Amino acid sequence: MSDYDILVVGAGPAGSTFARYMANKGYKVGVLEKKKEIGLPLQCAGLLGRRIKDLNVLPEEFILNEVNGAYLHSPSDHVMRVSKKDTQAYVLDRIGYDGYLAEIASAEGAEILLKHKVKSVNSKYGTVKMVNQGHKELTARVIVGADGHSSLVSNSFNESFNTVKASQYLVETSKPMETDFVNLHVNSKISPGFIWSIPLSPTQARIGLFGNHDYQSLKHILSNFMQSQGYLKGSKIIKKYHGEIPVFDNRKNLVNDRTILLGDAASQVKPTTGGGLLIGFACARIAADVVSKSLDNDQTSILKEYESQYKKEFEKELKTQLMVQKTFELLSNEDLDEMFIKLKEKGAEDIISTYGDMDSQSPLVRELLKRGLIFSVLPKVLYRSVSHIWKFF
């Protein structure tokens, strides 16, 4: 007999949420977390689309700010303002929220084992080896790899992941900012990444970026950026953070024998922004349904349904975002500037405000294509390569 029905590797938001669902259904759940404190260090901008309220619990105390729009900046600072009347996204206290998600999983009966660093998993036999004041081995009927961007569980049956690096500062500004708008800056130097400025209060913001560079170069780009922005002149850096974001990879196997992958470990992230929380939460639900069916019928083959259900729900959207990302990678700063000017002239601010959604970008892309806007603003030399990217849409 196994020690647990389910062992979850990683008490991040995806792992804790899945553990809560399974403990609530009455299964014996263990969560192995290598850190001694959940959620630390912060590795997130904490910006979550409003759909979070449909996908997970979110007590008000973890909401630091609400935003209803964005200023989109080209490299030479041509700006588009897009917004809706109501809240589009929440800015979260991610450290507090991660701790809370683990706490409520534990309240449902999941056993959260801190300072348990998993060293190896055997998918076939359901054994997990770990270090916690010496070496230990535990067994489970199902293992869930929710161990983040460089997942050891994934590496046990997939090629190793590609990730991109991200850096972020918490800054205190000397001048008050608009709190209901985020600022997003594109620049070919970091494409497909971008720079963000997310207000937490009138005088505090998270300023960060991700891109295909080492941390030193990202830091350099961020420092130059801060000096170039009037509202950030004289601002004080309170904290510095960095972290990694998995590159979305739809060739990844999410199921192997009695093991599944969840969240960043499964590269369940939006290709355009690297955001992974909402998809992770949605997949925790799908996983909970499939894993209970598999346990109740004592058939590991049922776990395959997790991958097919995830793909059915997300593949189209994620592929669209991948095409947007690939298109961005082709554009120089001059191209981006020119496109911003043309898009603005052609009324894109209204179209983006109406059809834009930070988590579901295909309705906007479809609308822009339908109106012929994407190709009318692209540099002509890129038509052929961009048509090639979009031929399956």
Ligand X SMILES: Cc1cc2nc3c(=O)[nH]c(=O)nc-3n(C[C@H](O)[C@H](O)[C@H](O)COP(=O)(O)OP(=O)(O)OC[C@H]3O[C@@H](n4cnc5c(N)ncnc54)[C@H](O)[C@@H]3O)c2cc1C
> Are 252 and 266 spatial neighbours (Cβ–Cβ below 8 Å)?
yes
* Binding residue (CB under 6 A) for ligand X from 4, 5, 15, 23: 15
Shortest distance, CB of residue 152 to ligand X, whole angstroms? 5
Q: Which region, judged by CB under 6 A, interacts with ligand X, from 40-48, 183-191, 226-234, 379-387? A: 40-48
Which of 192, 199, 243, 271 is in the footprint of ligand X by CB under 6 A?
243
CB of 94 to ligand X, least distance (A): 7
Residue 168 CB, nearest distance to ligand X (Å)?
5
- 8, 11, 82, 190: residue in contact with ligand X (rule CB under 6 A): 11
CB of 53 to ligand X, least distance (A): 14
* # of chain residues touching ligand X (CB under 6 A): 39
Say whether residue 152 binds ligand X (CB under 6 A). yes
CA dist 305 and 16 (Å) reads 21
Measured in degrees and rounded to the nearest 5, phi and psi for residue 257 equal 50, -115
Minimum gap (Å) between residue 199 Cβ and ligand X? 13
DSSP assignment letter at 166: E
Tell me the angle at which helices 362-370 and 304-329 cross, rounded to the nearest 10 degrees.
50
Map residue 39 onto helix, strand or coil.
coil
Q: Does 208 bind ligand X (CB under 6 A)?
A: yes
Cα angle value 336/341/347 (rounded, 5°): 120
> Among residues 21, 43, 186, 377, which is the contact residue for ligand X, using CB under 6 A?
43
- 166 near ligand X (CB under 6 A): yes
Whether residue 146 contacts residue 15, with contact meaning beta carbons closer than 8 Å, is answered with yes
Query: Least distance (Å) from ligand X to the CB of residue 234?
Result: 24
Backbone angle region of 372, left / alpha / beta, with phi > 0 → left and psi within -120 to 50 → alpha: left
Element (H, E) at 130: strand 127-131
Q: Which of 88, 100, 147, 322 binds ligand X (CB under 6 A)?
A: 147
C-alpha span between 118 and 136 (Å, rounded): 9
Give the residue carrying structure tokens 């990202």.
218
34 touching ligand X, by CB under 6 A: yes
Under rule CB under 6 A, which residues in 244-283 are in contact with ligand X? 244-245, 263-265, 269, 274-278, 280
Q: Which of 6, 7, 8, 13 binds ligand X (CB under 6 A)?
A: 13
11 versus 254: smaller Cβ distance to ligand X: 11
Residue with tokens 């997310």: 198
Using alpha carbons, select from 270, 263, 213 the residue that is nearest to residue 247: 270
Min dist CB 45 to ligand X, Å, is 3
**Spatial CA neighbour of 243 closest among 220, 201, 274, 197:** 274
Task: Supply the minimum distance, in Å, between the C-beta of residue 271 and ligand X.
Answer: 12
- Of 32-40, 186-194, 348-356, 366-374: span binding ligand X (CB under 6 A): 32-40
CB of 14 to ligand X, least distance (A): 3
Q: Report the Cα 349 to chain-centroid distance in Å.
A: 25
Angle, helices 333-345 vs 348-355, to 10°: value is: 90
**Interacting residue with ligand X among 8, 44, 82, 232 (CB under 6 A):** 44
Distance of alpha carbon 301 from alpha carbon 294, whole angstroms: 7
| Of the candidate residues 5, 7, 8, 12, the single one contacting ligand X (CB under 6 A) | 12
Among the listed residues 6, 9, 186, 318, the single contact to ligand X using CB under 6 A: 9
Q: Are strands 79-83 and 117-122 parallel, antiparallel or unpaired?
A: unpaired
- The residue count for the chain: 393
Binding site for ligand X (CB under 6 A): 9-15, 32-35, 43-48, 117-118, 146-148, 152, 166, 168, 208, 243-245, 263-265, 269, 274-278, 280
